[in-house]
Chains A and B, each alone.
Chain A
Amino acid sequence: MATLNLTEQEYIDRYGPNPAHTPAGGWDNRQPDKLVKTHCCFCGVQCGIQLKVKENKVIGFEPWEEFPVNRGKLCPKGVKRYMQNEHPDRLKAHLIRSLDHGFREASFDEALDKTVAEIQRIQGAYGKDAFAFLGGASMTNEKAYLNGKFARVALQTANIDYNGRLCMVSAGAANKLAFGVDRSANPWSDIPQAKVIILAGTNLAECFPILTDYVWRARDNGAKIIVIDPRITPIARTADLFLPVRPGRDNALAHGILHVLVQRSWIDESFIANHTSGWENLESLVAEYTPEKTEQITGVPAQSIVAAAELWGPAETSMLLHARGIEHHTKGVENVLSYINLVLASGRIGKPGSGYGTITGQGNGQGGREHGQRCNQLPGGRDINSPPHRQHIAEFWGVEETSIPQEGLTACEIIDAIEAGQIKGLLSISFNPLVSIPDSERTRAALEKLEFYGAIDFFMNETARHADVVFAGSLQEEDEGTVTTGEGRCVRLHNSVSPPGDARRDWEIICRLGQKLGQEKHFSYDKAGQIFEELTAASKGGPIDYSGMTYQRIEDEMGIFWPCPAPDHPGTPRLFENGKFHHPDGRAKFHAYPYRPPAEDIDSEFPLFFTSGRVVSQYLSGTQTRRIGGLVDQYPEPLCEMHPLLAKKLGIEDGDRVRVVTRRGDIELPAQIVRSIRPDTLFIPYHWAGKKAANRITNRALDPISKIPEFKVCACRVEKIGPPENASTSHGQ
């Protein structure tokens, strides 16, 4: 049903992505009517920025130097983020699929009525759970809360999940297992005070550029920087120690470092005795991971493993930061737990300049996973499988506990269930799974099986082309609300402009659907602030407590760190002070998982590792950034990074067209021959769609706990197709 009925070029002509170098109507250099202090819409730093507004249009930006996290600093995405509101591709009307050719414009009511009729038809015929909801972590806390409530109260489906499933869930699950709570342990202001910093699997300079300055300030203070990555990324270039780990071997490397720490007695025995549990099992596990054995598994020289321990072990203060590099694995949770072991064994956590953090990729990667839009979660970080938690939220919402569905499927499993014919209908918001989920041809096949697909977005993303109804939703600057940054700081977004044309604020679309599904009393809000008041009240007493926060306080205090359980509570920038963890016994837990290989390892047929990631000028599936001309120019199309040793062996020269093949499919693109990548590994950034999508070839094998897919390692081979297509192909930027 949901097959495409226009050509690729026809979709692009009508809906983009068309890179625009100026706003529609050209530059507007007049004096702005107002400067709105708000935040960037992209990564989890949520940099403060001021948007210039003239006649209800965003016309430019001005740095906001008073906001303490970034003090006016921005990355290129932040500089150009204002270019969306007046973009020619901006959806300004709701669309309904026309049977013969593309979409036709529809009134808001017609789009709502059609969607509600299809939800009712599908749920009537196949059961409530046959209709699924996919949310996103680029949206505000208010919308994350509302999505969860909409699925449980209006749709009453178990199958709601979000695109954070592709991003932060390994870290989140491991944080809960180790510490009893899912949040970065320290504010970023602790980074410059650390004397040694481990950056494990984080391309920090490209994905979280603002933190670079924090790391450089630590270095100025005398800190040693250890970078663990298969590629020399910009942050690795001047590291004191670089550990070029073979893809898929991260937890073995952590065990190897811990082995040396134990041997040299660089562990805090009193901290371990008083504040942790599980050390004995771990100690006997890491006894096997000698530097020599660890070198064999990881490809990191034994002396570098010892050197890492020598830097980490005796340090006075330390920070360990990691990101998707260790998390995007079928053992993502085990990897994170293994690096947390290094932190706990040192006893250096919960103090100024000492601790731990995970670097959230999405704008609201933290808050988006807290308020109930995950398949296993209710508001306040509560557990949908816990009877008292269910009862509490049922009473808060005024519904029967039995009406709240049980735990449902995760994001990739929802796509699998659509493919298997178990889920027949889907509503998605701010999610582009055709680009962002591994094995994209299978995702396409699944979309074509849906009986009904409704999509809410501000641009026509590639997945939404398959939709029956597309709602024109809102950009971040067209609404207000809050987001919670990667350090756990809840910050305030201000409304800059109203949505153009017939586009509606996302929460208004969700609420109208809820009303038309007969749940009027649960979805009647006049403004986002009312949703915020409800979510803070719902969080009271839960593991993630926002109940002391108000919009005014957040604004006055430049953000508040949760937990903040009372109006006079100052918030909690640093967790675990005095060795107090959030498990019932107050102790942190060590975990001892032996190394196991990735779901798909290299062999004679597919002898190379494939890994994927980001570039600094693009964001996630590119729905926004592939439309901004200045960012597109910076890195116009995906390139396949490979080492000259490998290229020489295969007769490939810089810029040659190559084909990378895995068991899922193949991708054709130019080669970029660089010495900054392991010779046994290929890298392609994933921001592009269709034939340029890196996720055509990645492996949809899931971590058993977090259900994150294994984006960061699978087996591939590469072959030369021919010389560059044209001489002007860019391969340097």
Chain B
Amino acid sequence: MASDLTNEPSADVEAEEEVEFFLDPSRCIGCQACVQACAECDTHRGHAMIHLEYVDRPTGVQTAPVVCMHCEDPTCAKVCPADAIKQDDEGKVHTAAKPRCVACSNCVLACPFGVPKMHAEFDLMMKCDMCYDRTSMGKKPMCATVCPSGALYYGPRAYVEKYRQESPTREFHFGAQTVKTKVNMMTSPEVKALPFDVLDFLPWEGESETDASEDLFATIRSGAPNAASAAVWDHALTEHL
């Protein structure tokens, strides 16, 4: 599987076993190698099908890479009035079919993960297809090949379960909607499904400049720097500024 000393996945094992996509934003360093590499694909050169954003740069350096989660029952396809979005036999959801897409953007608005984008110059919704051209030839998707931090990983589940601290989940609750996906999201070990709440997106709501609410961060790794908390800085010096 891997060297127990360096816990490095070995290429030959990765090639042999059944492989899956694992997404771990906690490892992301925001470098955009994934986005730059995606835009190198011959079939959509110059256009990235994935994106990466700061969660909230004023308060920290956390970034989130966004690839298509490849839902079992894709919302984007369900809301498409032209039946342009197709899932292949392996469950991967593809870019809208050019002859059918009416560029209505229903999919863009409906996707719970914010994945599809309307490319106005082509009048076409284009999205990540997990590098169909590469994965169908036994290669890894480009983004997961180049990602220098392991935030995007394509390999056997057994490797992830044995060596990584976080654990994978493929179930998401958006209000009343439960979404199951092909791509795994890495989470704290005890989390089996990810609930999404508007409060997740407003972690600093109602806070004063210097009084960070520690409770909101109680679940993060203890002692880790919290950019929202002025407590990590030198109070004595800031007072005389």
**Which of B51-59, B105-113, B117-125, B195-203 faces chain A?**
B51-59
Question: What are the residues of chain B within 8 A of A80 when measuring CB–CB?
Answer: 36
Q: Which of B124-173 contact A (CB under 8 A)?
A: 140, 142, 145-150, 163-165
Q: Are B148 and A676 in contact (CB under 8 A)?
A: no
Q: Are B5 and A76 in contact (CB under 8 A)?
A: no
Indicate whether A221 reaches chain B with its CB closer than 8 angstroms.
yes
User: In whole Å, how far is B232's beta carbon from the nearest beta carbon of chain A?
Assistant: 6
Q: Are B238 and A73 in contact (CB under 8 A)?
A: no
Q: Are B148 and A73 in contact (CB under 8 A)?
A: yes
Q: Are B31 and A219 in contact (CB under 8 A)?
A: no
Indicate whether A210 reaches chain B with its CB closer than 8 angstroms.
yes
Contact pick for B7, options A217, A227, A240, A616, CB 8 Å: A217
Indicate whether B241 reaches chain A with its CB closer than 8 angstroms.
yes
Q: Are B149 and A27 in contact (CB under 8 A)?
A: no
**Which of A117-125, A275-283, A641-649 faces chain B?**
A641-649
User: In whole Å, how far is A228's beta carbon from the nearest beta carbon of chain B?
Assistant: 11
Indicate whether B81 reaches chain A with its CB closer than 8 angstroms.
no
Q: Are B230 and A616 in contact (CB under 8 A)?
A: no
**Quick one: given A237-B224, A239-B224, A676-B60, are A221 and B7 in contact (CB under 8 Å)?**
yes
Indicate whether A265 reaches chain B with its CB closer than 8 angstroms.
no
Q: Are A236 and B146 in contact (CB under 8 A)?
A: no
User: In whole Å, how far is A213's beta carbon from the nearest beta carbon of chain B?
Assistant: 5
Contact pick for A236, options B26, B225, B230, CB 8 Å: B225
Indicate whether B237 reaches chain A with its CB closer than 8 angstroms.
yes
Question: What are the residues of chain A within 8 A of B163 when measuring CB–CB?
Answer: 217, 220
User: In whole Å, how far is B223's beta carbon from the nearest beta carbon of chain A?
Assistant: 5
Q: Are B148 and A209 in contact (CB under 8 A)?
A: yes
Q: Are A675 and B32 in contact (CB under 8 A)?
A: no
- Judged by DSSP, the binding face of B is loop
Contact pick for A679, options B31, B145, B147, B238, CB 8 Å: B238
With CB as the reference atom, state the residue of chain A lying closest to B11.
A65
**Quick one: given A217-B6, A220-B163, A220-B165, are A73 and B146 in contact (CB under 8 Å)?**
yes
Size of B's binding interface in residues, CB under 8 A: 58
Q: Are B148 and A645 in contact (CB under 8 A)?
A: no
- Could you mark each residue 454-487 of chain A with 1 if its beta carbon is under 8 Å from any beta carbon of chain B, else 0? 0000000000000000000000000000000000
Bound CA–CA A219/B186 (angstroms): 15
Bound CA–CA A212/B39 (angstroms): 23
Contact pick for B210, options A60, A645, A674, CB 8 Å: A645
Q: Are B224 and A192 in contact (CB under 8 A)?
A: no
Bound CA–CA A73/B27 (angstroms): 14
- Judged by DSSP, the binding face of A is loop
Indicate whether A518 reaches chain B with its CB closer than 8 angstroms.
no
Q: Are A205 and B149 in contact (CB under 8 A)?
A: yes
With CB as the reference atom, state the residue of chain A lying closest to B142.
A63
Of listed B8, B42, B62, B148, residue having the most chain A CB within 10 A: B148
Question: What are the residues of chain B within 8 A of A352 when measuring CB–CB?
Answer: 5
Which 8 pairs show the lowest CB-CB distances between chains A and B? A242-B225, A205-B29, A299-B234, A234-B29, A209-B148, A212-B149, A679-B238, A79-B36
Chain A positions within 8 Å of B, measured between CB atoms, are 21-22, 27, 29, 60-61, 63, 65-66, 70-76, 78-80, 189, 192-193, 205-206, 209-210, 212-213, 216-217, 219-221, 227, 232-242, 244, 246, 299-300, 307, 352-353, 607, 616-617, 630-631, 634, 643-646, 648-649, 654, 672-676, 678-680, 732-733
Chain B positions within 8 Å of A, measured between CB atoms, are 5-8, 11, 26-33, 35-37, 39-40, 42, 45-46, 54, 57-63, 140, 142, 145-150, 163-165, 209-210, 220-225, 227-228, 230, 232-234, 236-238, 241
For this complex, 27 residue pairs linking A to B, each with C-beta atoms less than 8 Å apart, are: A22-B46, A60-B40, A63-B142, A66-B11, A73-B145, A209-B33, A212-B150, A216-B27, A217-B6, A220-B7, A220-B163, A220-B165, A232-B225, A234-B28, A234-B63, A237-B227, A238-B26, A239-B223, A242-B224, A244-B225, A246-B234, A616-B29, A645-B210, A645-B238, A674-B59, A676-B60, A679-B238
